[in-house]
């Protein structure tokens, strides 16, 4: 079934503000690592001659389900079975649980990695070749606030981790920790690749590009792959015979090319939708029918990035939109953590079955061994998509090998796709700008231009909602953005 909702929730992080001098230095440090060219081939990195010397740091390792899947994928590669795994979490119990997972996974797979654990992030990063970031600042309680406070205003959300007021405030909670991670990496492992899984993906990658342009960053998300996987299954086409290219922004990219043996699969999808009306009762099927290109994120996600659906009861019913569903998904993830921990303590084996290999292990394997792969990743838009802003992050195909993650030139998106992306990007640009300038007014402006929020609330309500969320999240936010602002009309 398409749109089965795959979501990962990372482990907790608190603020780790680097000294002001370190933040200032990040803008210029290691800038020689960046290679600017017409096709934006970024950052060549040298690898250890011996893959067994590779050090992989996990930030937010206490995200047990995600950590288990990543570790199983990494240790399944013959060349990576003896790597060093440096696990970091700020929660001692979750860190201990992550260590149990790592050792149990290695035992079950017959691998022999060196496993170290660190409550101190800098120690985990020391000498790392790769850094996998899966933190979630504020954890489940912050997610609850991001849903319940807007709901009091009548604002509906489905996932609230990418755009909208939920995405804005998740980003603002995450940016101060990214400041610390970037500063620490530039000191402890300046040539390492930061493989980011933390949402909001596009905002986080754009922010890192602004504060630490010399840092090697690739944002990884499985949405393009799973979209193609599920569509191929729906159409009865072998996945390994499908050629595809996705491009846009994370969680709102488009299948620009979707072919089987040189022929477009879109006509077959059109026939299927015509024959089975119930298939059309999903947001991204509706968007595809109207825009002509298939969106690469689930209907639950896609519904809250546009102004057309969540504000209308009849549309929610027509398209079967699960408003607020992510709260239960998040609660289930918390429950699964406790269940996994109890199973580990009881000595039970881990379930290491998985549907596909995650991107991070593939990227690491390709850079270490030179085996070339093509994945979709999130990188700064330095001439890659010409009709989207150059100071933001885009999701594009990338070639990965010993030279690193090298994004492919896309050119112009179809005009209707770019138009929708630009409304998405505007929210992120303002959110990043708010953090860079410390101007709380810009936070409110980001919420004002958000499509779903603007379709639902008045400007006075938007300002008051931002005040309420600012108060609720308190010292998780950047210091300059912790004050409330009276609406100009009050």
Catalytic machinery residues: 222
Q: Which of 172, 196, 247 is nearest to 408 (CA)?
A: 247
Apex CA 104: angle with CA 6 and CA 87, to 5°? Answer: 70
- Whole-angstrom CA distances from 484 to 19, 122, 188, 341, 468 are 25, 34, 37, 40, 8
Apex CA 356: angle with CA 350 and CA 358, to 5°? Answer: 85
d(CA 340, CA 377): 30
Q: Which of 490, 488, 442, 448 is nearest to 465 (CA)?
A: 448
Burial of residue 211 (number of CB atoms within 10 Å: 0-12, 13-18, 19+): buried
d(CA 299, CA 284): 5
Apex CA 55: angle with CA 51 and CA 57, to 5°? Answer: 145
Burial of residue 88 (number of CB atoms within 10 Å: 0-12, 13-18, 19+): buried
Apex CA 183: angle with CA 475 and CA 439, to 5°? Answer: 45
d(CA 105, CA 419): 46
d(CA 279, CA 339): 35
CB 182 within 8 A of CB 26: yes
According to DSSP, the residues that pair with 385 across neighbouring strands are 411
Q: What is the DSSP letter of 442?
A: H
């Amino acid at each position: 079934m398409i749109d089965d909702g795959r979501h990962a929730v990372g482990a907790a992080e608190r603020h780790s503000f680097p000294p002001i001098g370190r933040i200032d230095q990040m803008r210029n440090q290691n800038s020689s690592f960046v290679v600017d060219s017409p096709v934006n081939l970024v950052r060549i990195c040298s690898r250890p001659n011996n893959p067994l010397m590779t050090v992989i740091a996990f930030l937010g390792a206490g995200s047990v389900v995600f950590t288990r899947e990543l570790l199983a994928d990494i240790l399944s590669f013959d060349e990576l079975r003896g790597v060093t795994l440096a696990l970091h979490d700020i929660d001692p119990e979750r860190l201990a649980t992550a260590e149990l997972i790592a050792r149990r996974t290695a035992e079950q797979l017959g691998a022999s990695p060196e496993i170290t654990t660190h409550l101190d992030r800098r120690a985990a990063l020391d000498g790392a070749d790769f850094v996998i970031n899966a933190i979630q600042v504020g954890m489940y309680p912050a997610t609850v606030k991001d849903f319940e406070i807007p709901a009091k205003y009548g604002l509906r959300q489905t996932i609230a981790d990418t755009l909208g007021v939920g995405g804005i405030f998740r980003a603002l909670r995450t940016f101060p920790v990214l400041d610390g991670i970037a500063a620490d990496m530039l000191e402890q492992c300046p040539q390492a690749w930061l493989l980011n899984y933390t949402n909001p993906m596009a905002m986080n990658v754009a922010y890192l590009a602004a504060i630490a342009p010399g840092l090697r960053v690739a944002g990884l998300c499985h949405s393009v792959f799973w979209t193609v996987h599920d569509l191929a299954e729906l159409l009865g086409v072998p996945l390994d015979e499908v050629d595809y290219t996705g491009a846009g922004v994370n969680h709102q990219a488009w299948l620009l090319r979707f072919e089987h043996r040189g022929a477009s699969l879109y006509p077959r999808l059109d026939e299927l939708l015509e024959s089975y009306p119930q298939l059309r009762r999903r947001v991204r099927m509706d968007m595809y029918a109207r825009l002509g290109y298939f969106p690469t994120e689930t209907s639950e996600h896609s519904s809250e990035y546009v102004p057309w659906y969540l504000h209308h009861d009849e549309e929610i019913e027509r398209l079967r939109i699960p408003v607020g569903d992510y709260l239960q998904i998040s609660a289930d993830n918390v429950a699964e953590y406790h269940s996994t921990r109890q199973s580990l303590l009881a000595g039970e084996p881990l379930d290491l079955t998985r549907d596909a290999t995650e991107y991070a292990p593939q990227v690491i394997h390709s850079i270490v061994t030179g085996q070339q792969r093509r994945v979709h990743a999130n990188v700064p838009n330095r001439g890659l998509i010409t009709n989207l802003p150059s100071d933001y992050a885009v999701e594009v195909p990338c070639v990965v090998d010993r030279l690193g993650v090298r994004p492919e030139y896309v050119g112009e998106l179809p005009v209707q796709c770019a138009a929708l992306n630009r409304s998405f990007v505007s929210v992120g640009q303002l959110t990043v700008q708010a953090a860079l300038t410390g101007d709380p007014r810009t936070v409110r402006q980001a919420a004002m231009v958000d499509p779903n929020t603007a379709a639902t609330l008045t400007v006075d309500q938007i300002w008051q909602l931002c005040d309420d969320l600012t108060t609720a999240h308190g010292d998780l936010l950047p210091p300059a953005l912790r004050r409330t602002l009276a609406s100009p009309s009050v």
